[in-house]
């Protein structure tokens, strides 16, 4: 059920009657909105499709970044002095 509200630029205008006020009172809907806003979601994150997709994208992005860093380390030129220290001497 859609509710229609009149908002006028002139200000308050005419006050609603008691019948109109009674028509808009819905305590069940108020309690439902309150519990929806305050309580934690009942579905775990991994079962919520949007949240699960977001988590998967974060993991894939982290893997991509780590792979790029790994390739960048391999592409850097090695200083000859450091290379001799790393490699054992062959006797």
- Decide: 41 and 47 in contact? Cβ < 8 Å: no
pLDDT digits (tens, 9 = 90+) for 82-91: 666 656 656 5
DSSP helix, strand, coil percent of the chain (3-state; round to 5): 60, 0, 40
Q: Is the pTM of this model over 0.75?
A: no
- Decide: 46 and 52 in contact? Cβ < 8 Å: yes
39 phi, psi to nearest 5 deg: -75, 155
Residue 56 vs residue 79, higher pLDDT: 56
Average pLDDT, the chain: 78
Residue 38 predicted with pLDDT over 80: yes
């Amino acid at each position: 059920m859609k509710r229609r509200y009149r908002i006028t630029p002139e200000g308050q205008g005419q006050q609603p009657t008691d019948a109109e006020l009674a028509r808009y009172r819905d305590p069940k809907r108020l309690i439902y909105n309150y519990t929806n806003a305050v309580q934690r979601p009942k579905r775990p994150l991994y079962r919520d499709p949007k949240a699960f997709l977001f988590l998967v994208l974060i993991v894939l992005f982290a893997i991509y970044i780590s792979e790029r860093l790994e390739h960048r380390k391999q592409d850097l030129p090695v200083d000859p002095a450091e290379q001799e220290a790393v490699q054992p001497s062959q006797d």
